Amino acid sequence: MSSTTPRHRELSLYRQYFELVAAGTKTIEVRVKYPHLADLAPGDIIRFRIKGTDETCEVRVERVTEYPDFEALLDGEGPADVNPTATRDEQLSNIRAIYPPEKEALGALAIQIGRLS
């Protein structure tokens, strides 16, 4: 019998998205498939931090799904779980403002998260 200890990671979030995660209304985090996130797995713990502050929020990774791009991710996951305060087109524009085309070309990760109490 083997036991695995969850891995802990710290990632930055913009305040507007941090507040949605902290409230439990944002249940899908969108990230580019950078090499350091390629092994992210269910059970891992992510501590989100608002950059430049001590404000943090911890979540457990429930699922990680890879998509070829952000459009496929939003279509596959549904925009309401990614950001319940913005339309699909607004979200696509906002995500692409954060990640330029060469980053999107690496692939997109939909990280389903659940708040830790």
Interatomic CA distance for residues 64 and 41, integer angstroms: 6
The answer to whether residue 42 is domain-embedded is yes
29-67: pLDDT as tens digits: 999 999 999 899 999 999 999 988 999 999 999 999 999
Half-sphere exposure of 36 (CA within 13 A, CB side): 5
Range of the domain at 74: 8-115
- Number of structural domains (the chain) is 1
Interatomic CA distance for residues 31 and 22, integer angstroms: 18
The answer to whether residue 2 is domain-embedded is no
76-100: pLDDT as tens digits: 999 999 999 999 999 999 999 999 9
The answer to whether residue 3 is domain-embedded is no
CATH code (residue 80): 2.30.130.30
The answer to whether residue 35 is domain-embedded is yes
